[in-house]
Amino acid sequence: MDDLATTSLVEDFRRVRAQTLSLCSSLRPEDTVVQSMPDASPTKWHLAHVTWFFERFVLEPFAPDYRRFNERYDYLFNSYYYSVGRMHPRPQRGLLSRPTLDEVRAYRSHVDDAMAELLAQRDEKSIRDRVVLGLNHEQQHQELLLTDIKHVLSCNPLQPAMATDLVVPEVTALAEHSYLAGAAGLQRVGAAGLGFAFDNETPRHDALLHEHRIGSRLITNGEFREFVTSGGYSDSNLWLADGWAVMNDRGWNRPLYWSEDLQAEFTLGGLREMNDAAPVCHVSYYEADAFARWVGARLPTEFEWEVAAGAEPPRGNLMESRSWHPAAAGDASQFFGDVWEWTSSPYAPYPGFKPLDGSLGEYNGKFMCNQMTVRGGSCVTAADHIRASYRSFFYPDARWQFLGIRLAKDGMR
């Protein structure tokens, strides 16, 4: 989503805001209140927080006559912007039975009307830049909304589907896995300045890549099941020390959402028979790293991934396919969509990185510690939100996101 002319920006604003509501149209009010773990937020909170973002960072600075819908929402729906005030504790978001879902929808309408008035009256780059950032922020929360409600529904013994009309990916023959030669030497990486990018994608710079090969597709359910049944979760030689401790402490013995018999998995469409040719997902960095060691490979660095993926257009099994679940590769490389791909790169600033000015500088930079970089988007990422330079990040024990595995090896053969 680029820095567009005002007319197109208004259309983009309406489209993205409507898309967020559309994603949760099949949910009932009771669904939207539940918080199943501290890392996940209730659907209702997501709907309100992205609205607060436009209110706090666009309307209040640029629309002097704007009046808040509710003064107390500033405390409830701030996430982590300490420079603008205190916030309700994240692990307690599920205790917010009020405001009701109807009141949150009214809040969204109030802000949307004010935004429409502002954009009709003022066409300034500073405003457009804030709106584009806000829309990309909302698209991030669209993805979080879907992954969080999946975790909520998975905790219900009824194992309900979020929606009954989702596209079921075809069960296809397994594409052969091979290793493709990657580019070596100095390579340009980072946002090229051709459209919107988050500050953590900048500045563009040279990265030195050593000779390597990268997997032709993602690792599948069937391949990961072999790791499970061969005792991969009981072989300490395969695991990083922290991973071994976490795995044993939490009793992991298979990917999140897999059934005990390893034959089915919970999806946003309910419980389904396992598709062995589809990419494995909902695995932590620790599990991805252990699997790579098991097959005598490693995870790619984020720059190996970016250079390889940059040669392809960003298309794949993304949110718009409305499967909301990984699909078998066929003849695709799967660099974009299906699952976020763990890399071996810590989430760290690029040389010369400068966060955005002011409170928006809290968006990315302060998280550049103790997390790992993931690339490529997933089956619940909006198609116009992903690009080769896009960096996201999670703690290495995270599993509730659509997180999967691509392999790499050193050398050219």
CA distances from 62 to 26, 55, 74, 107, 122 (A): 35, 10, 17, 19, 9
* The predicted structure's pLDDT at residue 229: 98
Q: What is the mean pLDDT of residues 22-41?
A: 97
Average pLDDT over residues 160-186: 91
Given pLDDT bands bounded at 50, 70 and 90, which one contains residue 363? confident
Mean pLDDT, rounded, for 242-249: 98
Q: How far is CA 81 from the centre of its chain?
A: 20
Q: How confident is the model at residue 6 (pLDDT cuts 50, 70, 90)?
A: low
Q: Is-contact 359 247, C-beta < 8 A?
A: no
- Answer whether residue 308 shows pLDDT above 50: yes
Cβ-based neighbours of 114, under 8 Å, separated by 6 or more = 55, 59, 63, 66
Contact assessment for residue 269 and residue 278, using Cβ atoms and an 8 Å cutoff: no
Q: What is the pLDDT of residues 48-83, one digit of tens each?
A: 999 999 999 999 999 999 999 999 999 999 999 999
Q: What is the mean pLDDT of the chain?
A: 95
Contact, 274 vs 300, CB < 8 A? no
The string of pLDDT tens digits covering residues 194-237 is 889 999 999 999 999 999 999 999 999 999 999 999 999 999 99
Strand residues in 157-250 grouped as ranges (E): 179-181, 185-189, 205-209, 212-215
Q: Where would I find the H helices in 196-281? A: 221-229, 241-250
Tell the CATH topology of 179-410. paralog of FGE (formylglycine-generating enzyme) (3.90.1580)
| Distance in angstroms (rounded) separating the CA atoms of residues 354 and 406 | 30
Q: What confidence tier does 1 reach under pLDDT thresholds 50, 70, 90?
A: low
φ/ψ of 321, rounded to 5, equals: -70, -20
d(CA 100, CA 70): 13
Q: Where are the domains of the chain?
A: 6-154, 179-410
Measured over the CA atoms of residue 273, residue 278, residue 282 and residue 288, the dihedral's sign is: positive
Task: Name the token pair of 150.
Answer: 């999946």
Whether 413 has a pLDDT exceeding 80, the answer reads no
Please name which of 377, 326, 395 lies closest in space to residue 143, comparing C-alpha atoms: 377
CATH class of the domain whose range is 6-154: mainly alpha
Query: Which among 294, 289, 336, 287 has a CA at the least distance from the CA of 311?
Result: 336
Bridge partners (DSSP) of residue 374 are 342, 392
Q: Is the pLDDT of residue 5 over 70?
A: no
For the segment 143-156, the average pLDDT, to the nearest whole number, is: 98
**What is the DSSP code (8-state) at residue 58?**
I
pLDDT band at 3 (very low <50, low <70, confident <90, very high): very low
Residue 82 amino acid letter: Y
Question: Which amino acid, 23?
Answer: L
